[in-house]
């Protein structure tokens, strides 16, 4: 029920409008009245009516001044001005303010309720449009997140100046304003399911981490396929440190409520310029490399002195060389990325011993061990033959083992080769996944509940992972693909059938007719009715 508020200084007129119209019977809530604009304004702030009826000439604050204040704070409120003065200047001023209509006194109840009814329809249309626009923004969030991920990759690569980065951030409504910055990298996963499956609890936890980031003035970014990056901002190092510590405490408390949830966090070094954020990321990446070297839940901090604890940040116990085995290397080969090889290899070798490659004997052992690990991975998990492996990797001969640098370069190279092969192998699997995903969309596009999350569950991927694959394979985000498909189906039905617009909306997945109409016009530039009429006119020609 829409709310109506009356402002009129003449008591008799006010009583007549209030009592001579059965507001409730017409579907309105007469929520309040006042004798002047000054008293009315505070009451309007509290009641938030949909329609205000106000006299133009009143003591203390007139109707024009009141209307101006209402429109400044509550632009959606519709206003009807009443006056006994036939002065065009008043009308012109009222229109400029945004008043909906201008009625001359004396006004009868029938005329007034007719204007109120006309405004109520306008209000409902505007409200439906606002709700549709809000829903559209929510549905387009996937596209925004992909754009934000791309922007974060730009930040951490370095090379762009501050003005370029700030301009890009403003396009995405990202506030980078701060004096100091630090990055925390985080991965959350579940050990409850098979590889590839993503549990609902992980999505719940990630949403909670997003809220924690907002509470501590940190920007939340999707990082890599299944990781998260939090960019903390502050006025000085101590403030950032406090925010990071509070965030970690909150996250640990959150994670403790999910026994099957695993997590690993890495903290960078605080920097003072936007253009130095990539340096903070490098330090965080150094610590993040230990994700593949441990099975513990932890937050580690990268520093020039190595990894160290800070307040409630954990540190892993020193890893004994005998624990550096093929399982750790296999973990990296399965989940690591090419950009992480340098840091992973550095930490891998450091955990064996700072000068591991200086010893000829140990150098030979490490090179051979990595080779056999990579070969086993390539043969058993990627399906390569022995001959293909030798062509790709090359056996570590005398030249490779002769110098520390040669051995390091060789290990680095075969790891890159292995990850490239893994990605090529995954592409074939991704093609199959995409076939299933597209087939599912074609079959279920009329289901209003179809979303990235439901599709991800169907094909057994995380939403972030599927979003990346979908964009890579089709050239557009999932929601854009789904919306385009639905709109094409709707256009076909508009051309071929005489079904009503709201019926067609339901058939293509939109139960809300207002939202379907809004979305159709947003994407096609015309309303469904205009599109149908245009098609008929084209046919006549």
**Mean pLDDT in the chain?**
84
Phi, psi of 262 (to 5 degrees): -105, 150
Report the distance separating Cα 184 and Cα 244, nearest Å.
8
Residue 91 pLDDT > 80: no
Helix (H, G, I), strand (E, B) or coil at 359: coil
Q: Per-residue pLDDT averaged across 511-524, rounded?
A: 90
Percentage of the residues of the chain whose pLDDT score is greater than 90: 36
Q: Per-residue pLDDT averaged across 96-113, rounded?
A: 83
**pLDDT of res. 471:** 86
194 pLDDT band (50/70/90 cuts)?
very low
Residue 384 pLDDT > 90: no
Identify the CA nearest to 182 among candidates 288, 277, 249: 277
Tell me the pLDDT tens digit for each residue of 257-316.
988 888 999 999 999 999 999 999 999 988 888 888 777 888 998 765 444 444 444 433
**pLDDT of res. 303:** 61
Higher pLDDT, residue 384 or 76:
76
**pLDDT of res. 304:** 52
Residue 429 pLDDT > 60: yes
Percentage of the residues of the chain whose pLDDT score is greater than 70: 90
Residue 129 pLDDT > 70: yes
Identify the CA nearest to 500 among candidates 518, 513, 483: 513
201 pLDDT band (50/70/90 cuts)?
confident
> Cis omega (within 30 of 0) on the bond before 106?
yes
**pLDDT of res. 310:** 44
- DSSP H or E stretch at residue 283: helix 277-288
Q: Per-residue pLDDT averaged across 181-200, rounded?
A: 72
Report the distance separating Cα 282 and Cα 329, nearest Å.
21
**pLDDT of res. 63:** 84
Helix (H, G, I), strand (E, B) or coil at 33: strand
Q: Per-residue pLDDT averaged across 456-477, rounded?
A: 85
Task: Give, in degrees to the nearest 5, the angle at Cα 408 between 405 and 413.
Answer: 120
| The model scores a pTM over 0.85 | no
Within 10 Å of residue 47's Cβ, how many Cβ atoms?
A: 16
Q: Which residue has the tokens 């099975």?
A: 295
3-state helix, strand, coil in the chain (%, to 5): 60, 15, 25
271: which DSSP letter? Answer: B
């Amino acid at each position: 029920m829409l709310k109506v508020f009356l402002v009129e200084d003449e008591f008799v007129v006010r009583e007549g409008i209030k009592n001579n119209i059965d507001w409730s019977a017409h579907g309105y809530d007469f929520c309040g009245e006042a004798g002047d604009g000054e008293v009315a304004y505070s009451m309007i702030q509290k009641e938030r009516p949909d329609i205000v009826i106000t006299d133009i000439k009143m003591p203390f604050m007139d109707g024009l001044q009141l209307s101006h204040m209402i429109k400044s704070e509550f632009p959606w409120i519709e206003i009807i001005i009443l006056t006994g003065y036939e002065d065009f200047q008043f009308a012109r001023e009222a229109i400029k303010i945004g008043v909906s209509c201008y009625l001359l006194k004396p006004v009868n109840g029938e005329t007034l309720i007719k204007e109120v009814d006309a405004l109520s329809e306008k209000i409902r249309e505007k409200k439906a449009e606002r709700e549709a626009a809000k829903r559209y923004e929510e549905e387009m969030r996937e596209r925004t997140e992909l754009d934000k991920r791309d922007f974060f990759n730009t930040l951490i690569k370095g090379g762009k100046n501050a003005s370029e980065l700030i301009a890009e951030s403003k396009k995405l409504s990202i506030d980078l304003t701060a004096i100091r910055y630090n990055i925390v990298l985080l991965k959350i996963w579940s050990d409850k399911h098979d590889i590839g499956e993503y549990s609902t609890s992980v999505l719940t936890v990630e949403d909670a981490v997003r809220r924690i980031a907002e509470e501590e003035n940190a920007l939340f970014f999707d990082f890599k396929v299944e990781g998260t990056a939090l960019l903390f901002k502050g006025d000085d190092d101590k403030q950032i440190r406090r925010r990071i510590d509070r965030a970690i405490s909150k996250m640990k408390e959150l994670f403790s409520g999910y026994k099957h949830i695993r997590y690993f966090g890495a903290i960078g070094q605080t920097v003072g310029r936007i253009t130095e954020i990539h340096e903070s990321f490098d330090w965080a990446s150094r610590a993040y490399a230990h994700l593949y070297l441990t099975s513990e839940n932890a937050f580690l901090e990268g520093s020039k002195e190595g990894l160290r604890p800070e307040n409630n940040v954990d540190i892993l116990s020193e890893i004994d060389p005998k624990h550096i085995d093929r399982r750790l290397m296999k973990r990296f080969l399965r989940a690591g990325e090419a950009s992480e090889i340098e840091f992973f290899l550095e930490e891998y070798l450091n955990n064996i011993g700072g000068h591991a490659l200086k010893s000829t004997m140990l150098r030979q052992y490490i090179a051979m061990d990595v080779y056999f690990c990579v070969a086993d991975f390539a043969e058993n998990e990627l399906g390569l033959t022995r001959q293909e492996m030798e062509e790709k990797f090359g056996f570590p001969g005398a030249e490779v083992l002769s110098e520390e640098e040669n051995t390091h370069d060789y290990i680095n190279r075969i790891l890159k080769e292995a990850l490239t092969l893994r990605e090529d192998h995954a592409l074939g699997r991704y093609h199959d996944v995409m076939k299933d995903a597209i087939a599912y969309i074609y079959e279920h596009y009329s289901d209003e509940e179809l979303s990235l999350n439901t599709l991800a569950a169907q094909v057994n991927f995380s939403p972030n992972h599927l979003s990346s694959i979908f964009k890579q394979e089709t050239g557009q985000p999932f929601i854009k693909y789904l919306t385009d498909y639905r709109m094409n189906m709707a256009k076909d039905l508009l051309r071929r059938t005489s079904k009503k617009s709201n019926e067609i909306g339901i058939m293509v997945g939109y139960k809300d007719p207002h939202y379907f109409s809004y979305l159709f016009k947003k994407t096609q530039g015309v309303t469904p009715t205009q599109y149908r009429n245009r098609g008929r006119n084209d046919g006549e020609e």
